[in-house]
C-alpha cells in the first residue's frame, strides 16, 4: 500500500547540494490531518506519548508515541470496552454517538503511566494504569461522578488532584489509591468564570483543562469560545495549586486551541493543540512557545505557523490508517487502525474463519446502518483519501444490506441490497439526515468492488462513490455527498465496512480486502 501523510509536507527536494547537504524537508501544520482531538501529551526521556478521544468507538482511548512531536505511531488503547450497557452495545434502540468517553489526561508518576477519562455514558470517571505504556496492559479504577474535562495531577507533597469543570474550574483531592474523591479533602472552585480573561461572558466559558507545574508555578491551559468569535487558548497560573490564579489569552488564531505545553530534551517548548478542520475532524497542531516573565508566549507574532522549524525525517500516516488483506489466523488481533462503531458482538464477526476474509454476519434485525452492530471503521484523512473493498455477497438474505460507508450523521454509502432473490448495487445518501436510495443497479454476479473518495482540500468536504465488477473499470454511482461535521456524532468522517439485516438475521458477507490511498480520481 502507499504511504500516508499525517501532515502537509513542503516538498523542497531540489536536486542540488549546498555545502554538501540536501535542503531539509520541513514539517507543517496540521501535524496529523485526521481526527485526533482532545490531545494530552507527556515526555518520558526522549519519547513523547499522546492520548486522544474516540468516544463511541471500541477499543477506545488511543495511545500514540513519537520521537519528534511530528510523526506519531499508534501503540494501543487504554480500554477494549468502556462499559457494558445498552448505549455502548447499540441495543434496545440506544446508542452513544458523540458520547462514550471524552477528553483524557495522561501522566507518568514514579514508574507508572496513568491515563484517565470521563464518560456520561457510564456516569463515571475512569483511570487506567500501566507500568509499560507500550505493551498496554492497563488496569482500571473508576468512580462516580463523571468529572468533565479533568486533568489528573500528582503534586510534590504526595497529594493527588483532579481539576475539572466548565467555566468555573474546580480542584478536588483524590484518595491516594485514586479510588474516588477524598472525603474531607480539598474541594473548591479555584478558577471562576475562565472566559472572563478575554473580557467575555458568553459562549463556551472554559474547559479542556490541562494542569502542570513548571519552574515552581502551576499552569492551567483551557479553551474558551466566545460567542461570535473563534476557539481561543487561555492560561492561568499561580504559585499555589489552590490559587488565586491569574489568567490571560495566549493564542487567538485560526481556532487553534485546546491542548497542553510540552518541552523537549534540549529545552525547547511547544504547545500541542488542535483545530476544527471541517468534516475530516479535529486535527493536531504543533505551536512553538517561548517564555517571557514566566508566561508562555505561543506562536510566531501571535500566529500559529504553518511551517515548523523541525526536520521531518519520516513520511506517512504510519499505522493510524492501514490497508488490510485480512490474511490472519482466527483470533489474531486486528491492526490498531481499526475500531468498531460501538462495542462489537464478537459472535458475529471473524477474520480467518474463511482464510483471507473478514466475515460480517447479521446477528439481528436493524432498521438502518447507524444501528448496525459490528461496523468496522477507520479514520478518513486529508488532504484526500480513498478506501476500496471487494465484497462477496452470495450468502446474503432477503432484506440484507452490506457495503462501504462514509460514516457520520450525514452519511453516504455504496453497497449491495438484497430484495427477494435479487441483488442490487445501491448508493444511499443521508445528507439531510434522512437516508435516501439515490441509485440502484442490478447485480448478477457474486462479487463487487466498492470505493469511496474523500476530498478535504480547502474544506471542500465532498465524498464520491464508485462500484466496479472487475476492480479495474470504475463507475460513479449515486450523488456526491456534501460531508458535514455534526455534533450528534462529534467525530470526523470514518470509512466503515458493514452488514445488517432488515428482515431476517443470519446472512453474511465476506470482505476480501480493505485498501486505503492518499490519491483520488480527479472529477
CATH code of residue 447: 2.60.120.200
Tell me the average pLDDT of the chain.
Answer: 94
343 and 304 co-located in one domain: no
Question: Of 308, 326, 357, at which residue does a domain stop?
Answer: 308
Which regions in the chain score pLDDT beneath 70?
Answer: 1-24, 314-316, 523
241 and 372 co-located in one domain: no
In contact, 418 and 399? CB cutoff 8 Å:
yes
Residue 107 lies in a domain: yes
- Return d(Cα 79, Cα 57) in angstroms, integer: 10
408 and 262 co-located in one domain: no
pLDDT for 114 equals 98
User: For 298-350, how does the pLDDT look when each residue is reduced to its tens digit (9 = 90+)?
Assistant: 999 999 999 999 988 766 688 999 999 999 998 899 999 999 999 999 999 99
220 and 365 co-located in one domain: no
Nearest to 316, CA basis, from 517, 458, 495, 513: 517
Which residues are within 8 A (CB) of 99 and not within 5 positions of it... i.e. 6 or more apart?
Answer: 55, 56, 87, 119, 120, 121
Going by the DSSP 8-state scheme, the letter that residue 335 receives in this structure is P
282 and 361 co-located in one domain: no
143 and 266 co-located in one domain: yes
* SS3 label, residue 458: helix
- Return d(Cα 490, Cα 409) in angstroms, integer: 9
CATH code of residue 166: 2.115.10.20
Domain total of the chain? 2
pLDDT for 14 equals 29
In contact, 164 and 150? CB cutoff 8 Å:
yes
- Return d(Cα 177, Cα 141) in angstroms, integer: 9
299 and 347 co-located in one domain: no
Q: How many CB atoms lie within 10 A of CB 337?
A: 20
pLDDT for 5 equals 36
- Return d(Cα 325, Cα 9) in angstroms, integer: 28
User: For 39-90, how does the pLDDT look when each residue is reduced to its tens digit (9 = 90+)?
Assistant: 999 999 999 999 999 999 999 999 999 999 999 999 999 999 999 999 999 9
The parent domain of residue 493 ranges over 339-517
Residue 490 lies in a domain: yes
- Return d(Cα 452, Cα 495) in angstroms, integer: 8
Residue 13 lies in a domain: no
361 and 496 co-located in one domain: yes
Amino acid at each position: 500500500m502507499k504511504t500516508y501523510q499525517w501532515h502537509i509536507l513542503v516538498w523542497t527536494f531540489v536536486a542540488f547540494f549546498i555545502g554538501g547537504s540536501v535542503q531539509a524537508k520541513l514539517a507543517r501544520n496540521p501535524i496529523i490531518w485526521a481526527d485526533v482531538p482532545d490531545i494530552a501529551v507527556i515526555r518520558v526521556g526522549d519519547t513523547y506519548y499522546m492520548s486522544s478521544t474516540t468516544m463511541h468507538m471500541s477499543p477506545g482511548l488511543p495511545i500514540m508515541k513519537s520521537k519528534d512531536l511530528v510523526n506519531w505511531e499508534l501503540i494501543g488503547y487504554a480500554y477494549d470496552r468502556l462499559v457494558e450497557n445498552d448505549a455502548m452495545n447499540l441495543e434496545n434502540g440506544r446508542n452513544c454517538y458523540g458520547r462514550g468517553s471524552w477528553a483524557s489526561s495522561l501522566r507518568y508518576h514514579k514508574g507508572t503511566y496513568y491515563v484517565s477519562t470521563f464518560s456520561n455514558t457510564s456516569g463515571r470517571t475512569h483511570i487506567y494504569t500501566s507500568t509499560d505504556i507500550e505493551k498496554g496492559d492497563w488496569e482500571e479504577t473508576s468512580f462516580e461522578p463523571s468529572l468533565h474535562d479533568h486533568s489528573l495531577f500528582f503534586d510534590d507533597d504526595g497529594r493527588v488532584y483532579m481539576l475539572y469543570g466548565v467555566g468555573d474550574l474546580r480542584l478536588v483531592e483524590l484518595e491516594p489509591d485514586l479510588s474516588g474523591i477524598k472525603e474531607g479533602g480539598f474541594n473548591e472552585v479555584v478558577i471562576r468564570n475562565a472566559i472572563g480573561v478575554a473580557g467575555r461572558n458568553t459562549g463556551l466559558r472554559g474547559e479542556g483543562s490541562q494542569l502542570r507545574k513548571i519552574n515552581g508555578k502551576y499552569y492551567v491551559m483551557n479553551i474558551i469560545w466566545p460567542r461570535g468569535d473563534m476557539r481561543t487558548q487561555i492560561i492561568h497560573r499561580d504559585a499555589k495549586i489552590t490559587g488565586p490564579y491569574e489568567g490571560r489569552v495566549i493564542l487567538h488564531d485560526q481556532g487553534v486551541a485546546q491542548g497542553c505545553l510540552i518541552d523537549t530534551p534540549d529545552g525547547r517548548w511547544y504547545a500541542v493543540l488542535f483545530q476544527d478542520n471541517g468534516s475530516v475532524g479535529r486535527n493536531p497542531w504543533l505551536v512553538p512557545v517561548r517564555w517571557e516573565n514566566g508566561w508562555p508566549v505561543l506562536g510566531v507574532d501571535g500566529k500559529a505557523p504553518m511551517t515548523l522549524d523541525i526536520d521531518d525525517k519520516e513520511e506517512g500516516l504510519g499505522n493510524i490508517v492501514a490497508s488490510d488483506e485480512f490474511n490472519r489466523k482466527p483470533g489474531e488481533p486486528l491492526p490498531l487502525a481499526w475500531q468498531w462503531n460501538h462495542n462489537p458482538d464478537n459472535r458475529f464477526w471473524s477474520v480467518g474463519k474463511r482464510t483471507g476474509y473478514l466475515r460480517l454476519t447479521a446477528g439481528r434485525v436493524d432498521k438502518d446502518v447507524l444501528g448496525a452492530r459490528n461496523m468496522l471503521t477507520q479514520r478518513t484523512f486529508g488532504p484526500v483519501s480513498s478506501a476500496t473493498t471487494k465484497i462477496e455477497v452470495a450468502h446474503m438474505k432477503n432484506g440484507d444490506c452490506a457495503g462501504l460507508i462514509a460514516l457520520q450523521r450525514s452519511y453516504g454509502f455504496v453497497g449491495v441490497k438484497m430484495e427477494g432473490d435479487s441483488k442490487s448495487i445501491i448508493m444511499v445518501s443521508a445528507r439531510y439526515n434522512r437516508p435516501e436510495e439515490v441509485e440502484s443497479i442490478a447485480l448478477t454476479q457474486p462479487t463487487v468492488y466498492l470505493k469511496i473518495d474523500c476530498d478535504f482540500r480547502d474544506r471542500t468536504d465532498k465524498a464520491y462513490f464508485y462500484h466496479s465488477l472487475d476492480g479495474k473499470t470504475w463507475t460513479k454511482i449515486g450523488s456526491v455527498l456534501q460531508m458535514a461535521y455534526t455534533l450528534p456524532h462529534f467525530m470526523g468522517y470514518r470509512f466503515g465496512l458493514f452488514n445488517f439485516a432488515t428482515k431476517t438475521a443470519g446472512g453474511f458477507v465476506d470482505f476480501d480486502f480493505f485498501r486505503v490511498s492518499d490519491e483520488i480520481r480527479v472529477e
